[in-house]
Structures are given as structure tokens and as C-alpha cells.
Amino acid sequence: MTNWIPEDDKLAVLAKGARSRVQAKVGAALRDETGRTYASAEVSIGLLVLSAVEMVVAQAVASGSTGVESIVISSQFEVSATESEIDLVRVFAGTGVPLYVVDETGKPIDSRLT
């Protein structure tokens, strides 16, 4: 496990809330380089399919963020970040960004650095 910090608890709550609001399978939350937080869920509308990580990174970029401190993924089912999601975070924020997957209680069950 990488270094989970208390601020990541907030991301776990935000990711689960984003997922729950729209009954999505996966939600994600991100803390940017200034401490601002963003949360979103996966989206599937016809041919448009965006993961929760893609959505939350897009929100951060659209808000003017230039970096990422941490990302948390919340799912009712066992998931992990895809290589394309990890590549997206690397392109946006570089390497070394902690990316966590949490269970229903918000406890980290998987982590990796991008």
C-alpha cells in the first residue's frame, strides 16, 4: 500500500457519494495540486462511455488544475484501474500519483503509483 493520508478519507467518501448519487458501479475522486477536490461517476450514454477516472480527470482539467495529489476509486465490485486510465493520469500529472481502490467501507484494498 502506498501512503494513505487522512485527506484520502475525504476522497473515499466523495467517490462513493458520486457513485451512489447516480447508481453507477464506479465512482472516483481526485485531489489536485492545490487541495481542491473533484468527484464523478462513470458515464454511459449510447456510444459515449467514460470511466469515473476519465470523468474526474476531465473535471480537474476543465477547472484549471495542473496536477494531481491523489485519486480514489470506489466500486461495489472488485475493480482496478485500467492501463488507459493510468496512462491518462500520467499524461496529465506525471508519474508517482497514488491511485487507490477502496471497498464499501472506504478502506483501501488496492493501490499503485502511476
Q: What is the pLDDT of residues 27-83, one digit of tens each?
A: 999 999 999 999 999 999 999 999 999 999 999 999 999 999 999 999 988 888 999
Model pLDDT for residues 82-113, shown as the tens digit of each residue? 999 999 999 999 999 999 999 989 999 999 99
Backbone angles phi, psi at 110, to 5 degrees: -155, 150
**Angstrom distance (rounded) from CA 39 to CA 63:** 12
Q: Report d(CA 89, CA 96) in Å as an integer.
A: 10
As separate numbers, helices (DSSP H) first and strands (DSSP E) second, the chain gives: 3, 7
Domain ranges of the chain: 6-113
Largest Cα separation within the chain, whole Å, is 38
Is residue 62 within 8 A of residue 55, CB to CB? The reply is no
pTM of the model: 0.94
The percent of residues in the chain predicted with pLDDT above 90, rounded, is: 91
| Domain 6-113: which CATH number of 3.90.79.10, 3.40.140.10, 3.50.30.30, 3.30.450.90 | 3.40.140.10
